[in-house]
Amino acid sequence: MLKECVNSILALSLNESERQIIVVDDGSEVSPVNDLLELSPNIIYVRQPNQGPSQARNTGIELASGSFIQFVDGDDCLLTSAYEQCLDIVRYKDTDMVLFQSTDKTISKPITDAEGPMSGTEYMTHHNLRGSVCTFLFSKEILHDLRFPKGTFHEDEEFVPQIMLRAENLYTTNNKAYYYRKRKNSTMHKTDKRWHIRRLADAEQVIYRLKERVDYLPVKERIAMDRRIAQLTMDHIYNVITLTHDETHLNHVLQRLSRRGLFPLPDKDYTTKYKYFRKMTSTAFGRKMLMMALRVKKA
């Protein structure tokens, strides 16, 4: 799968001076370095102890010398024709970030569409964000000292809204340029209750850390971040319900969120789903009905 990933990058219309491939191996049992060098002698290979995706990405950032950065998980790949459209946006428009779509299909037809430019703040104020940083192509220049949080799940959820606020000329495209391979054994698909509790606890801390940053933001950025925090809080409550099916645990979570000013959810019409979820969770009866409905849906 790693060779497929690297080959998808090599297949792009980028010459050697325009392309830098950095592979960070965070603890594989067998080093793939020989296989990688067969593909291209210019691949930068780094082997380090397994410290999670955050540290692997941070290592990649430190080594990157190009103008733009694209993260690709080793199990996934870029879809050449669709991704070329993203590259064309970078080539022919004044942009510091390109947002595109992902898919679980290996074939994607290219679309010649591009919406923008707009600031990341404007986009985040009016749209839901996709959590994965792998569906963003962004200028290294806007990073400054921003890095991924170490030792936590949901690292993308904390990183993405912060870098989004730094984008000044953002373009979006509906091109499905990133192939996401479903992973049966990934942390996202584990059934172990301890994994769920750990992930939920980390998600809650991400929300708290973003909340702490809000007071230091200018008004427009604060409005955008407030929306993202409300969405993450909604998702967190939903996940607590569906992953634990425990009313007592849910009530403890809601109490903690309430003490931080995060619950009840803000009375905003961000989306239809958000509006109805907010109403359902605002009362004990509504939450009980929601838990019953989601339990039936899962069954």
The CA distances from residue 65 to 48, 113, 152, in Å, are 20, 29, 27
Q: Is the distance from CB of 173 to CB of 98 less than 8 angstroms?
A: yes
- Alpha-carbon span 240 to 118, nearest angstrom: 35
- Backbone dihedral region for residue 49 (phi beyond 0: left; psi -120 to 50: alpha; all else: beta): beta
pLDDT of residue 185: 55
Per-residue pLDDT tens over the stretch 71-86: 999 999 999 999 999 9
Task: Say what the pLDDT of residue 151 is.
Answer: 86
DSSP string, 26-52: -S-SS--HHHHHHH-TT-EEEE-----
Helix (H, G, I), strand (E, B) or coil at 262: coil
Residue 172: strand, helix, or coil: strand
**Segments making up each domain of the chain, as ranges:** 2-179, 191-298
CA distance 6 to 77: 8
Q: Which residues of the chain have pLDDT under 50?
A: 187-188
Model pLDDT, residue 255: 98
What CATH homologous superfamily does 2-179 map to?
Answer: Spore Coat Polysaccharide Biosynthesis Protein SpsA; Chain A (3.90.550.10)
Q: State the Cα–Cα distance between residues 124 and 222, nearest whole angstrom.
A: 11
Q: Look up the pTM and report it.
A: 0.92
Are residues 96 and 139 in contact, defined by beta-carbon separation less than 8 angstroms?
yes
pLDDT at 298: 64
- Tell me the pLDDT tens digit for each residue of 148-185: 999 889 999 999 999 999 999 999 999 999 999 886 65
